[in-house]
């Protein structure tokens, strides 16, 4: 697993540089730099708009007492897209803008829901319904008779 992470850390920047060089050869260096900056700015505007929208929906759901899991996932995707937009390169911008598309996030949510379960959502085998056992009892409050015992 560690080797895969090391390979990704090395391969991703190499791929970004290769794509940048190919685009620069095709359209020119200044146009390539302008395109990279433009893609980043458009993406950041999308992050700002979608991030605020997701935050407002999550707050509204929390105010109603609902757990905003879908909105939190959307917020996580938008935050990840914002982080990817900071990185220079067309591949990271492409992944970021893809994460900003609501249909893509919907498909990603559906895929994750099929393949992963949330911790604590599956019922425990030993769990019993609440309210089956009722223990009835009486109690008596015992006051200390000695003045040295008790609060004081």
Residue-level pLDDT at 119: 53
Residue-level pLDDT at 43: 81
Percent of the chain with pLDDT over 90: 20
**pLDDT tens digits for 38-58?**
888 888 888 888 888 888 888
**pLDDT tens digits for 58-112?**
888 888 888 888 888 888 899 899 888 888 888 998 899 899 888 999 999 888 8
Cβ neighbours, 10 Å, residue 36: 17
* 15: nearest Cα among 93, 100, 97, 104: 93
* 80: nearest Cα among 59, 108, 60: 108
Q: Which residues contact 112 (CB under 8 A, 6 or more apart)?
A: 73
Domain ranges, ordered by start, for the chain: 13-115
Per-chain mean pLDDT for the chain: 82
**pLDDT tens digits for 124-143?**
444 455 556 777 888 888 88
How far apart are the C-alpha atoms of 49 and 39, rounded to whole Å?
16
Residue-level pLDDT at 85: 85
Q: What is the DSSP string of 35-81?
A: HHHHHHHHHHHHHHHHHHHHHHHHHHHHHTT---HHHHHHHHHHHHH
Q: Given a cut of 70, is residue 7 above it in pLDDT?
A: yes
Residue-level pLDDT at 26: 94
């Amino acid at each position: 697993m560690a080797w895969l992470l090391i390979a990704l850390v090395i391969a991703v920047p190499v791929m970004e540089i290769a794509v940048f060089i190919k685009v620069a050869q095709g359209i020119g260096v200044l146009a390539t730099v302008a395109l990279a900056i433009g893609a980043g700015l458009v993406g950041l505007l999308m992050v700002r708009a979608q991030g605020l929208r997701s935050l407002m929906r999550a707050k509204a759901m929390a105010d109603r007492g609902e757990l905003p899991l879908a909105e939190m996932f959307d917020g996580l995707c938008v935050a990840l897209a914002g982080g990817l937009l900071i990185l220079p390169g067309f591949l990271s911008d492409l992944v970021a803008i893809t994460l900003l598309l609501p249909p893509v996030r919907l498909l990603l949510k559906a895929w994750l829901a099929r393949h992963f379960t949330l911790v604590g959502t599956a019922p425990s085998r030993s769990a019993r319904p609440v309210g089956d056992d009722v223990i009835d009892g009486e109690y008596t409050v015992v006051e200390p008779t000695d003045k040295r015992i008790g609060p004081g």
